[in-house]
Amino acid sequence: MDDEPLSNWAERRDAKIGRLRATPVTCGEGPKGSHVNPDAPRVIERWNGHAWEPHTIASNLAKAQRILYPDTAETSPAPGPAPNPLGPGTGKHRKPQAPRSDRR
């Protein structure tokens, strides 16, 4: 058989312990995508290796994202004009322009 060793599977499973996720607190049909109601409170759940358990509560999507991704909130780029990654020129993907004549 081509089954992997149990120790490899256990290492992969244990690596996920402590992972967090945000679930919107909704009534009705159940959880929706995070973008549906950004002002709704979120339950931050932690994976314990067998099930998701409540960890903390955030009052909205922005606060939940700060809990889930603490490093990215501090290193966000300063606001301002975006740099032009392409630089000058017309680029190879554009159609070449027909030669112009200076005659009128």
Mean pLDDT along residues 87-94: 63
Q: Residue 79 corresponds to which tokens in the numbers above? A: 């606001």
Predicted TM-score (pTM) of this structure: 0.59
Amino acid at 88: P
Q: What is the rounded CA–CA span in Å between residue 45 and residue 51?
A: 9
Q: Predicted confidence band at 74 (pLDDT cuts at 50, 70, 90)? A: low
pLDDT tens digit sequence for 44-72: 999 998 899 999 999 999 999 999 998 87
Radius of gyration of the chain (CA): 25
pLDDT tens digit sequence for 15-40: 989 999 998 887 776 666 777 788 88
Q: What is the rounded CA–CA span in Å between residue 104 and residue 101?
A: 8
